[in-house]
Each structure stands twice: as C-alpha cells, then as structure tokens.
C-alpha cells in the first residue's frame, strides 16, 4: 500500500472516529403519533446514529401513550424557544399548525425536518423564502413515499438532467384497498375496513381515498423534478371512493390492474402536466406488482433511462426512517439544491384531452363532461370510454365525486382539439 493511500485511509478513519465521538444532535420532537413514535423507537434501537430525542411536545395530556406523562411537554412553543435543541422534527397531522411551527422555526434560522406533505405542498414558496432570509434548513424526505428516497434522488442525482416523466404509486392506503379488491374480490367498503384495521387508513379516509394526499406529493416532486411551483388545486385528482368490483373486473379482462397513479409528464414545446387519478396499469409496468401498502416510483430520465424505486409508503418505522435520514443529513449540513427552480421554468398546461373509463348513470354529468371522442360504450354495464378535455375534468371533479361516479384514465393523452392520431405517448412505464 502506498504511503499516500495509507495516509488517506488514516485520515478518513480519523474523520469517521471524530464523527462517532461527536456530541449527538439534540432533537425536539413535535408530535408522538405514528411517525413520531416511529422516530423515537428507531433512535432507541440505533444509538450509533449520534442523535437523541431531548424533548417531545404533544397536544393532549390525557391520551394514553407508550411513555409516561412526565416525558412530554404540552406546549410546542416551548421547543421553539429552547436554544439547546439542534433540530426540530415536526410530526403532526394538522397542516395549519405545522406551518405555524415550521415557519416560526425557520424564522429563527433553525434546522427543521417535517413529514407533513400537505403543509409543504401548500406553502413551499414561503418556506423557501424563510430559508433564504434567515439561513435555516428544511428537509422533508418523509413527506413523499415513506421509506423511498425520492426527493433526495431527484434533487441531487437528477438535479440537472431532463426528465421525461416521474410517475408512480404515492399512497399506500389506497393501494392497500385496491390490492384487497383485486386479490380477494372484496367490495370497496370491506377492503377499506381491512385497511383501517391494519392501521393503513385513517378513520376519515378522505385524504387518501380521494387522492388529495398523492396530489400534495406530486406538487412537491414537481418543484424538485421540473422546477415548477404548483398549487395543489391546479392538479387533477380523482379518487377511488366509488370504485366497485365491476371496475376491477373490467381491468382484469385485459390483464390490467387499477392503481392510483400520480404522473408528472414532460410534453412537447417544453410544457409540463400533472395527473393524479386511478389508472389502468398493464403487466409490462413496474407498478403492476406494487401491492398492499407499498409505493413505487418510475423515473424516466433523458440520459440515465428508466429507474424504478419501490418501498413501504406507510407506517411508523418506514416513515420514521426517512425522518432520521434527514436528521443524519443535517449533521453534514445537507440542504436541498433546488437546481431546477433556479433554471428557466417549464410552462404548466392543462390544455389536453385524456382518455378515461367512466362508470356513471348520471346523464347530466355525461353531458357536462363533453366527451370529444368515444372509443367504447356499454350501456348494460353503465360505462363509457373516451376522450375528455382535462380542463373540463378539473372543473367537474367535485361533481364526479358527489355523483358517485368512478373515473380512471387509460394512459392515453393528446393535445386538446386534435384528432386521435395525434395522441401523445405518455407514461410508457405505466
């Protein structure tokens, strides 16, 4: 071994030893639900992570918990003003309160980790401005796809490479329900009850089943993958609350499954569109075998080609592992680069027509959607397949939900007011 290499290895070993002996990061944990408990539990089992929970803030002093009452503070503001805490980890499910706490911490120049995807999606420009003005750092890997390191991958590895698409299953709760319906032949209500019993769905499952949750995640990924800052309401989200065994069987006839797919697609003329809907997924897609509470993400890059990441998207330990990955990154002063936000932005468009499968008996709704082209229709089964303007679907998405209609996209998309031959080849991995 050369002297230079020997010295280099010795220096690296010394640096590692120094890091191991460094004082642990002192964490203030806000929230002790599924994610907060997961973070705490992992830290107890991994003392070598060089981080420890010093204080925990919760809201309800009467709620039974795994730690004694004396372990908790009941005012999160106390942690905000504790100068002995190095990192604040926000793990509550109240988006407005999370924003108040996180923005206050960033206004103090603090290091913050959050798992709150709705809060980040609604306030990302404001959070970035606070980081820039006061020098704090906000990381939120756990906000998207649980244990899958998708944000860091897009921000660091693909920070400069053009991406044709980023698509996937971003919600483990709805995916679990769809898996039960496909595997067991369960109706939606029974499958949802199973998901709730397993802890994969909330008592009020609206955010997951109506696709508001994956929509928030798509907003976050749009900033990192394409440098486009979107508002959640700009994105079409259709859920599975009205899905039936009939719809599952229709997909199975052609060897497909129905999955809730969030897709970010680069279009010709430097335009971007984002869709979050149920979709028919074929056996050739890597998403076809992503079942139960798992998530999967397909990245189609200009030069690197297609990449596929799969992992658990729900649960205290998978999400807690992503939180702690951010905590560990903060030790090395890591922060998101947002390279594509600094570059010229793409134009966001909804001026498209998408082909959908729609099951409804509501004739008024059918008229309102204004199908421009019908490719299949079965009156006896109550469904129609054809192209609908995306802007029209955005306008009537609440009406679809109220009418109990179920809509899924086939994967075919084309520019608005064109002929079928001009269909775009989107989502080739799906």
Any idea which residues carry the catalytic annotation? Answer: 217
Retrieve residue 47's tokens.
Answer: 């003392």
| Complete DSSP assignment for 167-199 | EEE--HHHHHHHHHHHHH---HHHHHHHHHHTT
Q: Where are the beta strands (DSSP E) in 322-405?
A: 347-348, 352-359, 373-378, 383-389
User: Residue 43, Cβ neighbours under 10 Å: how many?
Assistant: 20
Listed residue (204, 203, 216, 124) closest to 170, CA to CA: 216
Cβ(335)–Cβ(139) below 8 Å? yes
Listed residue (219, 227, 30) closest to 118, CA to CA: 219
Q: Where are the beta strands (DSSP E) in 317-368?
A: 347-348, 352-359
- Where do we find the tokens 């800052």? 229
Name the burial class of residue 414, with classes exposed (0-12), middle (13-18) and buried (19+) by CB atoms within 10 angstroms of its CB.
buried
Query: How many alpha carbons fall within 13 Å on the CB side of residue 132?
Result: 8
Name the burial class of residue 195, with classes exposed (0-12), middle (13-18) and buried (19+) by CB atoms within 10 angstroms of its CB.
buried
Listed residue (379, 372, 365) closest to 407, CA to CA: 365
Name the burial class of residue 144, with classes exposed (0-12), middle (13-18) and buried (19+) by CB atoms within 10 angstroms of its CB.
buried
Listed residue (159, 28, 153, 213) closest to 102, CA to CA: 28
């Amino acid at each position: 071994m050369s002297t230079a290499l020997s010295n280099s290895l010795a220096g690296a070993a010394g640096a590692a030893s120094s890091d191991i002996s460094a004082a642990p990061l002192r964490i203030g944990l806000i929230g002790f639900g599924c994610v907060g408990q997961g973070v705490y539990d992992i830290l107890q089992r991994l003392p070598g992570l060089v981080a420890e929970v010093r204080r925990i803030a919760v809201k309800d002093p009467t709620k039974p918990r795994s730690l004694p009452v004396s372990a908790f503070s009941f005012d999160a503001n106390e942690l905000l003003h504790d100068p002995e805490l190095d990192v604040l980890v926000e793990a509550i499910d109240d988006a407005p309160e999370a924003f108040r706490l996180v923005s206050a911490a960033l206004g103090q120049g603090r290091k913050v980790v959050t798992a709150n995807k709705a809060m980040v999606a609604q306030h990302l420009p404001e959070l970035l401005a606070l980081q820039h003005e006061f020098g704090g750092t906000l990381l939120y890997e756990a906000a998207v796809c649980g244990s899958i390191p998708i944000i860091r991958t897009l921000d660091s590895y693909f920070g400069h490479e053009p991406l044709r698409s980023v698509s996937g299953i971003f919600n483990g709760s709805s995916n679990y329900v769809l898996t039960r319906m496909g595997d067991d032949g369960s109706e939606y209500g029974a499958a949802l009850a199973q998901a709730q019993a397993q802890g994969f769905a909330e008592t009020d499952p609206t955010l997951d089943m109506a696709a508001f949750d994956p929509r928030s995640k798509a907003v976050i990924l749009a900033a990192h993958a394409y440098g486009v800052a979107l508002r959640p309401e700009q994105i079409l989200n259709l859920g599975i609350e009205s899905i039936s065994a009939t719809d599952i069987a229709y997909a199975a006839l052609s060897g497909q499954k129905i999955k809730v797919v969030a897709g970010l697609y680069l279009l010709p003329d430097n335009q971007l569109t984002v869709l979050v809907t149920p979709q028919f997924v074929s056996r050739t897609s890597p998403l076809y075998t992503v079942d139960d509470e798992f998530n999967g993400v397909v990245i189609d890059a200009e030069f690197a080609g297609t990449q596929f990441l799969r992992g658990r998207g729900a649960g205290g330990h998978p999400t807690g592992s992503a939180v702690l990955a951010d905590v560990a990154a903060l030790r090395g002063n890591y922060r998101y680069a947002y390279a594509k936000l600094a570059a010229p932005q793409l134009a966001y468009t909804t001026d498209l027509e998408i082909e959908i499968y729609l099951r409804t008996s509501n004739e008024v709704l059918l008229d309102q959607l204004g199908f421009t082209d019908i490719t299949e229709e079965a009156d006896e089964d109550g469904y129609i397949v054809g192209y609908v303007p995306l802007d029209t679907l955005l306008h009537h998405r609440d009406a679809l939900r109220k009418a109990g209609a179920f809509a899924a996209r086939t994967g075919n998309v084309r520019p608005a007011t064109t002929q079928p031959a001009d269909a775009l080849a989107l989502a080739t991995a799906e």
